[in-house]
C-alpha cells in the first residue's frame, strides 16, 4: 500500500513560532512512518515557506534553546491551481524540484498568520485537504472577544469581560476604565488574538491596569480585560465526529500552578516546576459529563472541525469556559495529547486520527 504524503507545516510569523516548532518535533518523532511520508515545511519568522530537514531532534522542545525555522534559502512552491496537488521547491541555487503530489497538509501553527484562518484559506485556494479547523472556525477561535460573543449566544457561560483598543483607552479613558474596574479585582489582561499566555498580565489593583494594557497592545490592536474566576483550571480535548456520530470529548485534565500567580508562558514551557498537569482530573462522573457536554457545545458553536481544546474554570458548582483553542499545544507532554492518552488513544494514534479527519473533511 502506497504511503500518504503529509506536509507538516510549522513555524510562522507569530510570537508562538518556537512552540509550533516544538510541536513539529513531537509529531515528527511519533508519526507512523509505515503509513505516511512526511514533508516538513517550515515558515520562517519573516513568512518564507522553506523545506526543512525531517529531523525531530532539531525541533524538540528545549527550554534552554527553543527551536526555530532557519531560512536555508529554499522556497516552497504551492500548486498553481486546485487542478494539481504537486508540491515543488526551489533550492538555494534557484533550481526547481518536485516533492510529488500532496495528500494532506497538517498545519501545526499557533497564533496569527496560521491558526487564524489565513493558512487555511491558502490551502483551500490551492485545493489541498488539511487537518483541523476551517477558515471560519479558525478565525473565530483566534479572536477571544468573538469567541466569547459566539459562545455566550450559544448559551455557554464565559467569564465576564471588556474588550478595548488603544484608541478607545486613550480617547475615553474614564469610561473604559470604569467598565474595566466594574468587573472587580483581580483582573486578567490579554491580547485578543494571541496564545500560549503571551502578553498576559494579572492585575491586582487599578494602578497596574495601564501597564498591563501596554504589554497586551504590543501583541495585538485590541485587548481583553477579564474578570478573574476563582476555581480549578480544567480542560479537555475535542475531536470531530466520525460519520454521523457525536462530537468526541476526552477525559478532563487539570493544571495545578505552584509558585506563580497564574499559568503563564514561563510555567507552560520554561519552568518545569511551576505547574503540574494532572490527567485524568479528579471529577465525579456527573461533573465530567457536564464538562464534556459544554465542550462539545462550544466546539459545535464555532463550527469546529478536527480538533480543539476547551479550557474551563470549575467553581465547584459551575463550569465556565475560559478559552477555546483550535490548535492546542501538541507536543507529547502537552495537555491535549495527555487527555486523549488517558482516554485510550496514544499520541501516534491521535496523529493518525487527525490526518484521517482531515482527509474526510468537507469544507
Segment 340-357, tens digit of pLDDT = 999 999 999 999 999 999
Q: 279: part of which helix (H) or strand (E)? A: none
* Residue 331 grid cell: 507536543
For domain 161-227, give the CATH number. Answer: 3.30.1490.20
Q: Quick check: pTM over 0.75?
A: yes
pLDDT of 175 reads: 96
Q: CATH assignment of 140-157+230-360, given 2.160.20.60, 3.20.20.80, 3.40.630.30, 3.30.470.20? A: 3.30.470.20
pLDDT digits (tens, 9 = 90+) for 182-216: 999 999 999 998 765 678 999 999 999 999 999 99
How far is 351 from 317, CA to CA, in rounded Å? 34
pLDDT digits (tens, 9 = 90+) for 118-134: 999 999 999 999 999 99
pLDDT of 280 reads: 96
Specify the domain boundaries for CATH 3.30.470.20 within the chain. 140-157+230-360
The sign of the torsion formed by the CA atoms of 325, 327, 331, 336 equals: positive
Q: What percent of the chain has pLDDT over 90?
A: 83
Specify the domain boundaries for CATH 3.30.1490.20 within the chain. 161-227
Domain 4-130 fold? Rossmann fold (3.40.50)
pLDDT of 267 reads: 46
Does the structure show a pLDDT above 70 at 259?
Answer: no
Q: What percent of the chain has pLDDT over 70?
A: 94
C-alpha distances (whole Å) from 216 to each of 97, 190, 219 are: 43, 5, 6
* Residue 162 grid cell: 471588556
Does the structure show a pLDDT above 60 at 114?
Answer: yes
Amino acid at each position: 500500500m502506497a504511503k500518504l504524503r503529509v506536509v507538516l507545516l510549522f513555524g510562522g510569523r507569530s510570537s508562538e513560532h518556537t512552540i509550533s516548532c516544538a510541536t513539529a518535533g513531537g509529531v515528527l518523532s511519533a508519526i507512523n512512518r509505515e503509513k505516511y511520508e512526511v514533508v516538513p515545511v517550515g515558515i520562517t519568522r519573516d513568512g518564507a515557506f522553506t523545506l526543512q530537514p525531517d529531523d525531530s531532534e532539531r525541533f524538540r522542545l528545549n527550554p534552554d534553546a527553543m527551536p526555530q525555522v532557519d531560512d536555508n534559502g529554499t522556497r516552497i512552491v504551492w500548486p498553481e491551481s486546485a487542478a494539481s496537488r504537486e508540491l515543488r521547491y526551489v533550492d538555494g541555487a534557484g533550481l526547481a524540484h518536485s516533492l510529488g503530489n500532496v495528500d494532506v497538509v497538517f498545519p501545526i501553527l499557533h497564533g496569527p498568520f496560521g491558526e487564524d484562518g489565513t493558512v487555511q484559506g491558502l490551502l483551500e485556494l490551492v485545493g489541498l485537504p488539511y487537518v483541523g479547523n476551517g477558515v471560519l472556525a479558525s478565525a473565530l477561535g483566534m479572536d477571544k472577544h468573538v469567541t466569547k460573543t459566539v459562545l455566550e449566544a450559544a448559551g455557554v457561560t464565559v467569564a465576564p469581560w471588556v474588550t478595548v483598543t488603544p484608541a478607545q483607552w486613550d480617547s475615553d479613558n474614564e469610561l473604559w476604565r470604569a467598565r474595566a474596574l466594574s468587573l472587580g479585582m483581580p483582573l486578567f489582561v490579554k491580547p485578543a488574538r494571541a496564545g500560549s499566555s503571551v502578553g498576559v498580565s494579572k492585575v491586582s489593583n487599578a494602578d497596574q491596569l495601564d501597564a498591563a494594557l501596554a504589554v497586551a497592545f504590543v501583541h495585538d490592536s485590541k485587548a481583553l480585560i477579564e474578570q478573574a474566576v476563582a476555581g480549578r483550571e480544567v480542560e479537555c480535548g475535542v475531536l470531530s465526529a466520525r460519520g454521523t456520530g457525536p462530537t468526541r470529548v476526552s477525559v478532563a485534565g487539570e493544571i495545578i500552578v505552584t509558585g506563580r500567580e497564574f499559568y503563564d508562558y514561563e510555567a507552560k514551557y520554561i519552568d518545569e516546576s511551576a505547574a503540574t498537569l494532572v490527567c485524568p482530573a479528579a471529577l465525579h462522573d456527573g461533573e465530567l459529563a457536564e464538562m464534556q457536554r459544554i465542550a462539545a457545545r462550544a466546539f459545535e458553536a464555532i463550527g469546529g472541525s478536527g480538533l480543539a481544546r476547551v479550557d474551563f474554570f470549575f467553581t465547584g458548582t459551575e463550569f465556565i469556559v475560559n478559552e477555546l483553542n483550535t490548535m492546542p499545544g501538541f507536543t507529547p507532554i502537552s495537555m491535549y495529547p495527555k487527555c486523549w492518552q488517558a482516554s485510550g488513544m496514544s499520541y501516534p494514534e491521535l496523529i493518525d486520527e487527525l490526518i484521517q479527519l482531515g482527509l474526510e473533511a468537507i469544507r
